[in-house]
């Protein structure tokens, strides 16, 4: 996502490097390049115009100070304007003061609503809420089933018409679900509604009827970021037909150009509240305009990484490992190494984690080719070792190496490399620890 846009903007900034002052011609040329970059990323034309006009005006304006060089000035302005069109402040979910909070999802079929419903439910659960999923997509065959399967995956109950798929009145189901939630003390109700492949009056009416019946605290419009310019048309149609309070962008992991993300909020005036980027239930997060802008400008997304790391990292494990690595609290073993690796793994793929670190944009190609299976291989090798071997890799002799390689489906040379590298890395870390240069949190890349 945004790869091309990031590259184009980086080129634009590069052209400004070394300039002592920006002439009128420099500003025009820069604005033109940014305009092309945005249009290529599928950003809607009115948004592009507004954006480049703001850049030009500010670049010419008095705020141009001596503290930053021209390239830095432009980066700063572009960053601030990006944050602005992405919605400025992070918009948090509003909860009902009394009774269950009702969140209704609307959007086209295939937008990712059903998947999103479960992701949101999981996220709410992690916030200490007790959500109830409600199946009101009674149109699409199998939609009820799909929600039930997803609900099970995240451990959240699903309220559905008893007859199951393809039957029942969605408005009645939605109403009944609120009664159920009130009775059973669920505090958030997530209503999944039907979508169609295209915008359609009947579907809009149904969504509007559900809205009127349950009076949601939040209506979220779910849109597939990969549909490009169509996202804007669809958003406007839903705004008129149903109305919504916020937007959820899905499939941000795709290789789309990202224009939807940059346009929808400007065109509808409604904030992007959540972003969903992957097939896994945990690939979901609150949308932060500032961090997204940072990511587009390739300043890295340390905040998201740290937040995610905090969520999945087992603090106790991390501390234990830190002590061991600093030469206290016993020996750092291959078992500890395995645990650390599995913790990092929980954050997502290596290339994704690396992609969030600042300045990693230049290694994009290498990251794209990063072989995730290498990690799997290392895990398999360690898992094929006995506990004694993990504690004391020195005991791994020739015949043990052969057994481990067989057990893990690797070559003896792979086992050798791993053991050698482990010893080297450990030595290095001990030296660092003695020199006082120990990184605070072991296992966090970078
Ligand atoms: P609905 O018709 O709006 O309920 O859409 P679904 O939830 O059934 O999603 C449609 C397809 O998109 C499914 O194959 C999902 O697995 C996939 N999908 C949903 N969200 C994401 C996402 O964030 N990333 C990717 N890559 N696929 C997604």
Residues 404-428 have pLDDT tens digits of 999 999 999 999 999 988 888 777 6
Q: Is 163 annotated as a binding residue?
A: no
**Is residue 306 domain-resident?**
no
Max mean pLDDT among 59-68, 182-191, 296-305, 392-401 falls in 182-191
Ligand 1 atom closest to the CA of 143, numbered from 1? 4
Max mean pLDDT among 190-199, 213-222, 251-260, 355-364 falls in 213-222
- Give residue ranges with CB within 6 A of ligand 1: 107, 109-115, 195, 250-251, 253-254, 276-279
Question: For residue 249, how far is its CA from the centre of ligand 1 (angstroms)?
Answer: 11
Please tell me whether residue 342 adopts helix, strand or coil conformation: helix
Q: Is 108 annotated as a binding residue?
A: yes
State the alpha helices, DSSP H only, in 41-101. Answer: 45-60, 70-85
Taking each helix axis from N to C end, the angle separating 315-325 and 334-346, rounded to the nearest 10 degrees, works out to 140
Residues paired with residue 218 on neighbouring β-strands, in sequence order: 103
pLDDT band at 70 (very low <50, low <70, confident <90, very high): confident
Residues 91-117, mean pLDDT to the nearest whole number: 94
State the alpha helices, DSSP H only, in 127-200. Answer: 143-154, 170-184
| Chain segment 118-137, per-residue pLDDT in tens | 999 999 999 999 999 999 98
Within 13 A of 377's CA, how many CA atoms are on the CB side? 16
Q: Is 194 annotated as a binding residue?
A: yes
Q: Is 206 annotated as a binding residue?
A: no
**Phi and psi, residue 360, nearest 5°:** -80, -5
Q: Is 403 annotated as a binding residue?
A: no
Question: For residue 112, how far is its CA from the centre of ligand 1 (angstroms)?
Answer: 4
Name the residue with the closest Cα to ligand 1, atom 18.
Answer: 112
Q: Is 29 annotated as a binding residue?
A: no
Name the residue with the closest Cα to ligand 1, atom 16.
Answer: 279
**Is residue 204 domain-resident?**
yes
Please tell me whether residue 410 adopts helix, strand or coil conformation: coil
Give the range among 28-42, 69-83, 183-197, 353-367 with minimum mean pLDDT. 353-367
Ligand 1 atom closest to the CA of 254, numbered from 1? 26
294 and 374 belong to one structural domain: no
Question: For residue 162, how far is its CA from the centre of ligand 1 (angstroms)?
Answer: 25
pLDDT band at 273 (very low <50, low <70, confident <90, very high): very high
195 and 288 belong to one structural domain: yes
Q: What percent of the chain has pLDDT over 70?
A: 81
**Is residue 440 domain-resident?**
no
337 and 368 belong to one structural domain: yes
Ligand 1 atom closest to the CA of 117, numbered from 1? 7
Q: How many domains does the chain have?
A: 3
Ligand 1 atom closest to the CA of 283, numbered from 1? 23
53: its two tokens: 């006009």
Average model confidence (pLDDT) for the chain? 83
Within 13 A of 317's CA, how many CA atoms are on the CB side? 17
**Is residue 446 domain-resident?**
no
Question: For residue 185, how far is its CA from the centre of ligand 1 (angstroms)?
Answer: 29
Please give the pLDDT value at position 344. Answer: 72
> In 180-245, where do the E strands start and end?
188-193, 218-224
Within 13 A of 277's CA, how many CA atoms are on the CB side? 19
19 and 79 belong to one structural domain: yes
40 and 13 belong to one structural domain: yes
Give, in order, the Cα–Cα distances in Å from 225 to each of 42, 103, 113, 265.
11, 21, 13, 13
pLDDT of residue 354 exceeding 70: no
Question: For residue 347, how far is its CA from the centre of ligand 1 (angstroms)?
Answer: 20
Residues paired with residue 133 on neighbouring β-strands, in sequence order: 158, 190
**Domain boundary pick from 273, 299, 325:** 299
Ligand 1 atom closest to the CA of 276, numbered from 1? 23
**Domain boundary pick from 277, 299, 321:** 299
Distance from C-alpha of 235 to C-alpha of 363, rounded to nearest angstrom: 35
337 and 293 belong to one structural domain: no
155 and 291 belong to one structural domain: yes
> 43: domain CATH number?
1.20.120.140
Residue 402 belongs to domain spanning: 312-434
Give, in order, the Cα–Cα distances in Å from 348 to each of 198, 222, 345, 352, 353.
33, 23, 6, 6, 7
Whether the CB-CB separation of 392 and 386 falls below 8 Å is answered with no
Ligand 1 atom closest to the CA of 284, numbered from 1? 23
Distance from C-alpha of 79 to C-alpha of 27, rounded to nearest angstrom: 16
Q: Is 114 annotated as a binding residue?
A: yes
Question: For residue 423, how far is its CA from the centre of ligand 1 (angstroms)?
Answer: 44
pLDDT band at 326 (very low <50, low <70, confident <90, very high): low
Question: For residue 385, how far is its CA from the centre of ligand 1 (angstroms)?
Answer: 39
Which residue of 1, 105, 107, 112 sits with most ligand 1 atoms within 8 Å of its CB, as the best mutation to test the pocket? 112
166 and 221 belong to one structural domain: yes
Name the residue with the closest Cα to ligand 1, atom 6.
Answer: 112
């Amino acid at each position: 996502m945004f790869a091309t846009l990031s590259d184009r903007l980086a080129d634009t900034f590069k052209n400004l490097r070394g300039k002592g002052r920006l002439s009128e011609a420099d500003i025009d040329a820069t604005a033109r390049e940014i305009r092309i970059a945005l249009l290529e990323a599928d950003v809607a034309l009115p948004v592009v115009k507004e954006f480049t006009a703001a850049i030009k005006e500010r670049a010419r304006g008095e705020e141009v100070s001596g503290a930053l060089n021209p390239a830095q000035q432009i980066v700063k302005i572009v960053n601030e304007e990006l944050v602005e069109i992405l919605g400025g402040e992070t918009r948090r979910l509003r909860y009902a003061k009394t009774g269950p909070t009702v969140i209704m999802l609307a959007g086209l079929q295939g937008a990712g609503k059903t998947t999103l419903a479960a992701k949101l439910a999981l996220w709410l659960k992690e916030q200490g809420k007790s959500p109830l999923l409600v199946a009101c997509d009674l149109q699409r065959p199998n939609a009820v089933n799909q929600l039930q399967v997803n609900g099970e995956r995240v451990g959240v109950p699903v309220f559905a018409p008893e007859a199951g798929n393809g039957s029942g009145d969605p408005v009645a189901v939605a109403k009944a679900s609120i009664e159920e939630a009130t009775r059973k003390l669920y505090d958030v109700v997530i209503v999944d509604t039907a979508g169609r492949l295209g915008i359609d009056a009947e579907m809009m009416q149904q969504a509007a009827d559900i809205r009127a019946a349950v009076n949601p605290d939040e209506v979220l419009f779910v849109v597939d970021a990969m549909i490009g310019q169509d996202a804007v048309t669809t958003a406007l149609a839903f705004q008129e037909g149903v109305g919504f309070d916020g937007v959820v962008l899905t499939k941000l992991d795709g290789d789309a150009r990202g224009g939807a993300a940059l346009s929808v909020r400007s065109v509808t005036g409604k904030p992007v509240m959540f972003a969903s980027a992957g097939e896994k239930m945990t690939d979901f997060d609150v949308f932060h305009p500032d961090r997204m802008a940072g990511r587009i400008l390739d300043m890295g997304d340390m905040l998201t990484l740290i937040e995610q790391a905090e969520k999945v990292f087992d603090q106790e494990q991390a501390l234990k490992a830190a002590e061991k690595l600093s030469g206290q609290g016993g020996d750092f073993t291959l078992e500890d190494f395995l645990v650390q690796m599995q913790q990092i793994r929980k954050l997502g793929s290596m290339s994704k984690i690396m992609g969030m670190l600042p300045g990693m944009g230049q290694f994009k190609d290498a990251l794209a080719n990063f072989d995730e299976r290498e990690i799997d291989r290392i895990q398999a090798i360690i898992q094929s070792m006995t506990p004694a071997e993990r504690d004391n890799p020195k005991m791994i002799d020739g015949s043990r190496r052969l057994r481990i390689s067989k057990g893990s489906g690797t070559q003896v040379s792979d086992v050798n490399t791993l053991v050698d590298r482990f010893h080297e890395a450990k030595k290095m870390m001990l030296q660092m620890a003695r020199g006082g240069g120990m990184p605070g949190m072991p296992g966090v890349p970078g």
